[in-house]
A = this chain, B = another copy of it.
Amino acid sequence: MTRTSLTREEVLAAAGSLVRQHGPAALTMRKLAAELGTAVTSIYWHVGNRESLLDALVERTVEELGEIRPRGRTPAARIVSVARTLRRELRARPHLITMVHERGLTERMFLPAQEALVHEMHAAGLRGARAAQAVRAIQFQVVGYVLVERNRERAPVQRPAEEELWDNAAAEQDPALARALGSAVDQDRLFTSSVRALVAGLLPADPD
């Protein structure tokens, strides 16, 4: 009644599910073996060691990242839509994205998005080194934003909360600002408006 013997595929699937749910720290070789019902050492035969297991998971994530379809009428709108799609896809795989990044594969993962952005920069009239700089600015903005968000969400309650920090001088001069800085960040809105501002600053003034 022994099942077909353990495969590399099974190991990767079980490991991937552990990482997706609880992060890489939760992936121990012993727990994984228990889950698979084998001896710890069998895993080593199939995937080498823990590090190359994680490498394989990351490789898979990079391949999974789908195509980017820009939406919208103006180049600016289409660029913003690429950024938003990127953010959504990255946020869906928080732990794996961090690992992709730590392994220096971010650039490769971003290739489809990069091509889409290049296309839009051309449509907007940017060329050469300036277009390249603009593409990278967007790319850094998106990745940076997602990393910041990840950390914010993983972090425990801010102590002290921003509210307590803002019952000071500025509050009397500009109560609306104090209130805004004292309340939680609306990350969706902040992201979109930041990207819009960046794009507006990067693209040449509207020609029509």
> Using Cβ atoms and an 8 Å threshold, which residues of chain B touch A101?
148, 151, 155
> Using Cβ atoms and an 8 Å threshold, which residues of chain B touch A145?
140, 144
- A151 touches which one: B102, B114, B135, B201 (CB < 8 A)? B102
Q: Give chain A interface residues in 89-137, CB to chain B under 8 Å.
A: 101-108, 111, 114-115, 118, 122, 127-129, 131-133, 135-137
Complex: A131 Cα to B174 Cα, angstroms: 10
Q: Is A154 an interface residue (CB 8 A)?
A: yes
Q: Is A30 an interface residue (CB 8 A)?
A: no
Q: Is A202 an interface residue (CB 8 A)?
A: yes
Whether A105 and B159, one on each chain, are in contact in the complex, defined by CB atoms closer than 8 angstroms, is yes
**Which of A108, A151, A156 has its CB near the most chain B CB atoms (within 10 A)?**
A151
Whether A104 and B144, one on each chain, are in contact in the complex, defined by CB atoms closer than 8 angstroms, is no
Instruction: For residue A148, give the distance in angstroms from its CB to the closest CB of chain B.
Output: 5
Whether B137 and A193, one on each chain, are in contact in the complex, defined by CB atoms closer than 8 angstroms, is yes
> Known contacts A141-B194, A190-B136: does B176 contact A128 (CB below 8 Å)?
yes
Known pairs A101-B151, A105-B158, A147-B147 / 14 extra A-B pairs, C-beta < 8 Å: A104-B156, A106-B151, A107-B162, A108-B158, A128-B176, A128-B177, A132-B177, A133-B180, A133-B190, A135-B181, A136-B185, A140-B190, A141-B144, A194-B198
Q: Name A residues whose Cβ lies closer than 8 Å to a Cβ of B.
A: 101-108, 111, 114-115, 118, 122, 127-129, 131-133, 135-137, 140-141, 143-145, 147-148, 151-152, 154-160, 162, 165, 170, 173-174, 176-177, 179-181, 185, 189-190, 193-194, 196-202
